[in-house]
Amino acid sequence: MLITNVDKIKQYYQALLAKDQHYIGVFYAGVKTTSIFCIETCRAKKPKFENVEFFSSVKEALDAGYRPCKICKPLKTQMKHRQKYLKLSHELHKNPKQKYRIHD
């Protein structure tokens, strides 16, 4: 969904400017002037605050008419994180008593 909470928008904008990796998968930034959406760590020139809106999923950004950025490739990034999640989920189901560390 389109993020409308002003505090969240400010927080996400600061994360976008800082290329904060802790927000990967949390939001997607749609740039109104170019109709392109990016991930948080995109190295493209950052938009002005008034020219960006935030979405909680790739599908929502696409449904709003935004195209994926050719620099950060948000569709490819989303698949990479999904594959990691599926692998971890499979491992947890296969061996539920195994202890994992965050960096595993």
Q: 6-94: CATH homologous superfamily? A: DNA Methylphosphotriester Repair Domain (3.40.10.10)
The radius of gyration of the chain from alpha carbons, rounded to an integer in Å, stands at: 16
pTM: 0.73
Task: With residue 86 as reference, give the H or E element that holds it.
Answer: helix 74-94
69 is catalytic: no
Output the pLDDT for position 84: 61
Output the pLDDT for position 82: 57
Residues 16, 46 contacting (CB under 8 angstroms): yes
Looking only at the bridges linking them, the beta strands covering 67-68 and 52-55 are unpaired
Candidate list 38, 42, 69, 72, residue with the active-site label: 38
Output the pLDDT for position 81: 56
Contacts for 5 with CB less than 8 Å, ≥ 6 apart: none
In the chain (104 residues long), the average pLDDT of successive 10-residue segments reads 94 96 90 96 95 94 96 77 63 74 58
